Amino acid sequence: MKTYLLKLQSLGIAAGLTLGAVMVLSMFAWTTASADVANTKHNLGSTGPGPNNFSGTTEVCVFCHTPHGADTSAEVPLWNKALAAPGTYTTYDTLGTSSLDGATAPVGSVSIACLSCHDGVQAMDAVLNAPGSGAGGDAVWAAGVWTGANQTLGVLTSFANLGQDLTDDHPIGIQYGGGGIKTSTPTAPTRDDDFVQTGQGLENAQVNGQTIWWVDTEAVPNGTREKTDMQLYTRSVAAIDSGELQPFVECASCHDPHSEAPLLFLRVSNDGSEVCLACHVK
C-alpha cells in the first residue's frame, strides 16, 4: 500500500480516498499480530495447535531456546539447536541472475537458525538442552513421539522443508538493494531505484551504539521500528564497504516466528502482494 501510494503521488493521480481513510482501512485489513507463539504452529509441544506435535513435553520455547547451554555461534537469543556450516547451503546468487545487485554473505544471521529445522536435516526435537535434569532431558521427553503429516520422526517434510539448496527461494543473506551504509555518506542510498529507499520508507536508527535498519510498512512511515515492519539485519562483510555493518535481508525480514498472523508468520498481509511491494518498487 505504501509503495502504491508513492507511485500515485509521483504520477499526480488522485487515489479517490484520503490518505487517512486508506490508513484506517489498512489497519482493519491486518491487525498487529501478538507475540503469543503458544497459539501458532511453532508450538510443537503436546498442547500445541498442530499440525506437528511432540508428546514429550508441554513446553513451548524449548524447541528453539534454552536458558542454559545455548549455541553461542547463533546470532539469535539462547539458541537451542546446533547450526549447520554455512557452506552446506547453495544460495540464490549461484544462479548468476543478472538483476541481483546486492552483495551476498554466507548463510548466517537469523536465517541459519530458522534453517536448523527448515532445511529438513535435523529433527525438531534434536535440541542441545532438553527439559528435565541433564542435557538429554527427562523420561517423558525421551519417550516422546511425533504426530502430524508434515514430518517424519520429527524431520520436516512437505513445503516446510526448504532443503539445503536455496536457489529456488527468495534470497537470504543478501544486501538490501535500496541502500545502506556507505563510508563517505553513512545514510545515503547506495543501490537500486527498484527498491524502497531512504525517504520512501527505508529507515534507520541508533540502538546501543549500533545502526538498525528496517522498511516501514505504514502508509506514512512513522520512524519507529515495529514488528509489522520489514526487518533488515546488519551484518559485517569485509568485501562490502570496508566491512562496515550493512542491512541484509534474512528469513525474519518477512516472517515473524512468534506471530499469530494467519498465514505463514508474515509480518503483514500479502493481499495485493503487500509483502513484496513493501521493499520492491514495481
Residues near 154 by beta carbon (within 8 Å), at least 6 away in sequence:
54, 123, 124, 125, 126, 146
Predicted structure pTM score = 0.84
- Residue 51: per-residue pLDDT: 94
- Residue 221: per-residue pLDDT: 83
Q: Domain map of the chain by residue range?
A: 2-30+176-279, 32-99+109-165
Mean pLDDT (the chain) is 84
- Residue 187: per-residue pLDDT: 45
**CA 131, CA 46: separation in Å to the nearest integer?**
13
- Residue 238: per-residue pLDDT: 67
- Residue 23: per-residue pLDDT: 35
Give yes or no for a contact between 213 and 204, defined as CB atoms under 8 angstroms apart.
yes
pLDDT tens per residue, range 59-112: 999 999 999 999 999 999 999 999 999 999 999 999 998 888 788 889 999 999
**Residues facing residue 234 across a β-bridge:** 247
Which residues of the chain are modeled with pLDDT < 70?
1-35, 181-191, 238-243
E strand or H helix that includes residue 203: strand 202-207
Instruction: Give the sign of the dihedral formed by CA 130, CA 133, CA 137, CA 139.
Output: negative
Give yes or no for a contact between 167 and 92, defined as CB atoms under 8 angstroms apart.
yes
